[in-house]
Amino acid sequence: MQSLLQAAVLVPASIPSPDWSGFDIPLPWGTLRIHGYALCILAGIVAGLWLTSVRWAKRGAPEGSVWDIVVWAIPFGIIGGRLYHVFSSPDAYFGPGFDGTGDLSLIPQIQRGGLGIWGAVVLGIVGAWIGCRRAGVRLPAFMDAAAPGLLLAQAIGRWGNWFNQELFGGPTTLPWGLEIDADNANFPAGVPAGTLFHPTFLYESLWNLAGVALLLVLDRRFNFRRGRLFWLYAMYYTLGRVWIEAMRIDDAEQISLFGLTTRLNVWTSIFVFVTALAVFILLGRKGRPEPDTVYLPGREPAKPAVTGDAGGTEDGVRDTDPVVSDSESRDNLPDNQNGSRPDSAPTEKATAAPSGSKPGTDATAAGHSGSTATGSASEAGTSK
């Protein structure tokens, strides 16, 4: 017990700032800097794609279609995320009050951080729509399959903010407070060195991981369709984003509504939550689609032709017995009395069938009326 207490004392009562933020790859014309932020985003994309592809395949989607979709969705999402960040935190790019003193060359430098999830989702959906149309599948079906994977990607990608020492909350004395280097550009002015801050990146990461588990459980229980799981994801994420965003102290666009001034992302989260709730309810009132398929109308895979037994038709039913009309066919029938073949001379055709026989059935064969050979002739070629 005493050793456990000593170990607890040795554990630092804070989250340290990272000593490593990337590495350089030497090239003939210089070096290529690989940032920890970019690696976290990439790891999140890989994990999210894996979960999405597994769920997409279970819904009966065509093989390989997930890649046809994400090749459009990911670039659109990155562009949308960057644009949202630029316009929600415009001072560095356009100057305070858009006075033109900013640096526009910073806009494409996403390795410095700054991807807004709302822009990423909106333009990402546009890209996914293009990919779904090309693959012949329904966008709402893909959105449902991708919702938990999207939340998983966000949970992992948030650790990129830790490598960049950015997007933290206010000062705290909690044992999981986040250390920020005092000489870092993101360290708040006027705050004593050594101050700990709320690790909002960690709060959001844990919130998102819990959401992944929740979405998977709810989807297994209720089997959501029509995009309802995606809108449930939007409600869950924005519910956490409101209180996490309110803790942050980094510079952001402030918006005043209803006499309240707060960060743009807070208002955006509230708006998205209300919209997602309304859409979720409306889609639930429409019921389940019939038929429940991931394919667009007219893009379903061709069904294989159904074939019957040899000599049969497409529905597996054999043709009716052919009428034996020539003497050579009759000659092939065994004689009822002794099993031998009749003479080669033709046998007279019966002029009338005995009473009780079926129309169109030869009642006599080789002049023996009522013999059992009649049954053999009428059953020739019939499937049993």
Tokens 């065994």 -> residue = 334
331 in any annotated domain? no
Average pLDDT, the chain: 80
Residues making up the binding site: 158
Cα of first residue to Cα of last residue in the chain, in angstroms, is 82
DSSP conformational letter for 196: E
Cβ atoms < 10 Å from Cβ of 45: 18
247 in any annotated domain? yes
Number of structural domains in the chain: 1
159 in any annotated domain? yes
Distance (Å, whole) CA 77 – CA 109: 16
366 in any annotated domain? no
Give the pLDDT mean for 230-242.
96
Cβ atoms < 10 Å from Cβ of 69: 26
Burial (CB < 10 A; 0-12, 13-18, 19+), residue 3, is exposed
Pick 46 or 114 by higher pLDDT.
46
Tell me what percent of the residues of the chain surpass a pLDDT of 70: 74
332 in any annotated domain? no
248 in any annotated domain? yes
354 in any annotated domain? no
Domain interval for residue 41: 37-61+137-286
Give the pLDDT mean for 203-231.
95
Over 70: is that where the pLDDT of 208 sits?
A: yes
Q: Which phi and psi angles does 382 have, rounded to 5°?
A: -90, 135
Cβ atoms < 10 Å from Cβ of 36: 18
pLDDT at residue 356, as a whole number: 46
For residue range 47-66, what is the model confidence (pLDDT) as tens digits?
999 999 999 999 988 888 99
Strand partners, 25: 32
89 in any annotated domain? no
Alpha helices in 89-194 (DSSP H): 91-94, 117-135, 139-157, 159-164
Token code pair at residue 303: 């069904």
Over 70: is that where the pLDDT of 384 sits?
A: no
Tell me what percent of the residues of the chain surpass a pLDDT of 90: 46
Distance (Å, whole) CA 366 – CA 343: 10
23-32, 273-282, 317-326: the lowest-pLDDT one:
317-326
Residues 6+ apart with CB under 8 A from 262: 246, 254, 255
Alpha helices in 13-96 (DSSP H): 36-58, 65-88, 91-94
**Rg, Å, the chain Cα set:** 37
